[in-house]
A = this chain, B = another copy of it.
């Protein structure tokens, strides 16, 4: 693990997600840029001091020398955005699979470089767009892929939060500090941190690609240099249209990612805060409430659930689904197995999603700079 020492947020989430299914074990880490802190953090996780490295370079170069079976199997990267690319690249160069937090990199160019390297090495790369790990998100995707909603016409995806409604980054709050700092976060603030999740969710569920967008990004909090609110018109390949809006200044909202999709034959609605419910809407019969773990849900949703219906599964379980599938993919690869295209082990976000996320950030920032001019996503695919 790179990053995620004492005081970090997402590192702890990754560790729980990895531990939950008891299919992998934390064996080493470079948990902090401060070597002493890295060691102390590792001790918290019951690691021997010699595998708590002062930096990721040292870690990668030392681990690669360990015998197979003992050395780490993959690297999890849980640092701020500006520190995603370098450890990912090095790990890949030294033959390690990589599971990275999102957004993939600091710039679109870096993401494309990583994409090329992954293609070249044949190693696996996973990206924790964790919201696609929810069973009901997978059910939504399956319903649309199966044609139940007909041709998609309209998508509304929202991600309001309120935690940055004041200038929290100036108070010493670490999470706020790096997210509002262009040197660590990149060119996007709100759009990079959560807008990318919203875009990824919309594309994952609909199976459509955002082709172009018109964005109005704002920094509402005085003195903040990155956007903390975005309102975006969307157009998708194939003619669907939509709205994406995300915000960090929507006071009172916690983490209210949600999506509605309307096709010619039906509609659906999903809310991350009540993730085990998927509303499916019809023109001529009652709205249906699909539920996690119900007998009638499809294979993808079933594979993403652990307990019977009515026992709520949450954020950590969804996150663990990314880990589970990624680990199963590594295992299949190690065992030389060929997976069928709909094997759950292949169902996790990869570098393509990473490149698209970076392209989204760039398009939103550029469109907004040109007063919401329609701007194409340059994801190159």
Query: In the complex, are the beta carbons of B312 and A275 less than 8 A apart?
Result: yes
Asked if A129 is at the interface (CB within 8 A of a chain B CB), the reply is no
Asked if A188 is at the interface (CB within 8 A of a chain B CB), the reply is no
Asked if A7 is at the interface (CB within 8 A of a chain B CB), the reply is no
Query: In the complex, are the beta carbons of B251 and A264 less than 8 A apart?
Result: yes
A281–B250 CA distance with the chains assembled, in angstroms: 9
With contacts A255-B308, A310-B254, A314-B317 taken as known, whether A286 is within 8 angstroms of B281 at the C-beta atoms is no
List which A194-235 residues lie within 8 A (CB) of chain B: 214, 216, 218, 220, 229, 231, 233-235
- The range of chain A's interface size is 35 or more
Stretch binding the partner chain, chosen from A28-36, A73-81, A290-298, A351-359:
A290-298
Contact check: which of B252, B253, B283, B316 meets A307 at CB < 8 Å?
Answer: B316
Query: In the complex, are the beta carbons of B243 and A267 less than 8 A apart?
Result: no
Contact check: which of B162, B262, B263, B272 meets A262 at CB < 8 Å?
Answer: B162
Asked if A141 is at the interface (CB within 8 A of a chain B CB), the reply is no
Shortest beta-carbon distance from A109 to chain B in Å: 28
List which A295-333 residues lie within 8 A (CB) of chain B: 295-296, 306-317
Asked if A374 is at the interface (CB within 8 A of a chain B CB), the reply is yes
List which A28-55 residues lie within 8 A (CB) of chain B: 45-46
| A contact face: mostly helix, strand, loop, or mixed | loop
Number of identical monomers bound together in the oligomeric complex: 4
Asked if A284 is at the interface (CB within 8 A of a chain B CB), the reply is yes
Query: In the complex, are the beta carbons of A283 and B21 less than 8 A apart?
Result: no
Shortest beta-carbon distance from A252 to chain B in Å: 2
A375–B286 CA distance with the chains assembled, in angstroms: 40
A247 neighbours in B (Cβ, 8 Å): 154, 262
List which A360-381 residues lie within 8 A (CB) of chain B: 371-372, 374
Q: C-beta contact mask, A260-271 vs B, less than 8 Å → 1, else 0?
A: 101111110000
Asked if A91 is at the interface (CB within 8 A of a chain B CB), the reply is no
Query: In the complex, are the beta carbons of B273 and A253 less than 8 A apart?
Result: no
A231 neighbours in B (Cβ, 8 Å): 233-234, 241-243
Q: Which 9 A-B pairs have the closest CB atoms?
A: A252-B281, A254-B310, A255-B310, A314-B314, A312-B314, A286-B288, A311-B315, A254-B309, A252-B267
